[in-house]
Structure 1
Amino acid sequence: MTELQIWLNQTLGGELVFTGLVSMLPVVELRGGIPFGVGIGLPLPLAVLASVIGNMLPIPFLILFTRQAFTWLRSHIPVLEGMISRLERKAESKKKLVLKYEFWGLLFLVAIPLPGTGAWTGALVAALMDLRLKSAVPAIFCGVLVAAAIVSCIVLGLLPA
């Protein structure tokens, strides 16, 4: 066990917190958090709980502050322009689904546990579409729950990886 893991176990509840932190990461999200939690010894229900909470914690902040962050980054760190433009193009490509199906489109975008989808992508799309928290967060949360169920089935061997 690493010193970080020992410290987390002694001070913050260990595996639950670490699993939640892994699930907060973009790209990894709960797709990696659930298998990680199970891999470090959590029972599947606790790994799912920690992963869902960790995956959802940054979402309201992303929806509220993405536009402002992009504007600030463009003006203060111009070298990031390419990355920001790529993220905006990615969100724009997913926007049609959300516009067409609204709540269900955002839920579906978040629910499919594949690269380029997930809560972070859903929050980015919601932010760039100026969706309100009260409409975006429930759709993203429901999508995260569906993704958690799919990933759990994969971890249990009920679905192919």
Structure 2
Amino acid sequence: MSEEAAVLIISMLPVVELRGALPVACLMGMNPVLAYVLAVVGNMIPVVPILLFLGPLSRWLSRYKLGRAFFNWFFERARKKSRSIEKYETLGLALFVAVPLPITGAWTGCAAAFLFGIKFKHALVAILAGVMIAGLIMTVLCLMGMLGAIIAGVVLMGLMVMGLLGLFKREQPAEE
């Protein structure tokens, strides 16, 4: 398999998406512009089918216990991660997808667009904009080498700490 095909395929995968494809391309020594274009295109390939078929597929599979359990879990995760989408709709969707963190990519963006009833055309444009911004951020971090990795690590650790602090705040019983 060619390096270009590998980047394209990796960027199509859920969870990994472009956030995983660009560092791989960087490690392979690929031209950053080519890597960016391949990762964005690859990340967008599943978007149209997901936007078109997620609703009918989820309704059909939800007739079965396992399908219902999966979609309840999947949509609940998307709801929890997408407060900005609910508030700002299309712009919120673009910003949500643009943040290059796990579970904020195009796949979850499609689920959020479905959940919040964002029209196909608006969702497609917002997800494309978000993917392009996330791709730029990841490309810059990759070009920065070790410094980029350190910056990304510090940001991820900070977000994890903030998330844990938020969990502890929510778990404390309310005072009367």
2:70 is the alignment partner of 1:83: yes
2:143 is the alignment partner of 1:156: yes
Q: Over alpha carbons, which structure has the higher Rg?
A: 2
Q: Which runs of 5 or more structure 1 residues have no equivalent in the other structure?
A: 6-13
Provide the secondary structure at the position in 1 that maps to 2:4.
helix
- The one-letter code of the counterpart of 2:45 is L
- The one-letter code of the counterpart of 1:56 is M
1:42-61 to 2 correspondence within 5 Å? 42-61=30-49
Runs of 4+ in structure 1 off by over 4 angstroms are none
2:80 counterpart (88, 93, 107): 93
* TM-score (norm. length: structure 2): 0.77
Aligned length: 148
Match of 2:166 in 1: none
Does the 8 Å CA contact 2:96/2:109 hold for their aligned counterparts? yes
Q: Percent identity?
A: 37
2:105 is the alignment partner of 1:118: yes
Does the 8 Å CA contact 2:10/2:16 hold for their aligned counterparts? yes
Matches of 1:134 and 1:79 in 2, distance apart?
Answer: 31
Does the 8 Å CA contact 1:64/1:127 hold for their aligned counterparts? no
* Coordinate RMSD, CA, aligned: 1.6
Deviation at 1:95, TM superposition (A): 4.4
Provide the secondary structure at the position in 2 that maps to 1:34.
helix
Does the 8 Å CA contact 2:12/2:45 hold for their aligned counterparts? yes
2:131 is the alignment partner of 1:144: yes
Match of 1:105 in 2: 92
Does the 8 Å CA contact 1:62/1:127 hold for their aligned counterparts? no
- The one-letter code of the counterpart of 2:129 is C
Matches of 1:57 and 1:130 in 2, distance apart?
Answer: 21
What do residues 48-75 of structure 1 show as CA deviations (whole Å, max 9, x unaligned)? 1100000011111111111211122222
Match of 1:11 in 2: none
1:29 counterpart (6, 13, 17): 17
Match of 2:53 in 1: 65
Matches of 1:154 and 1:135 in 2, distance apart?
Answer: 29
Provide the secondary structure at the position in 2 that maps to 1:102.
helix
2:20 is the alignment partner of 1:15: no
Does the 8 Å CA contact 2:79/2:112 hold for their aligned counterparts? yes
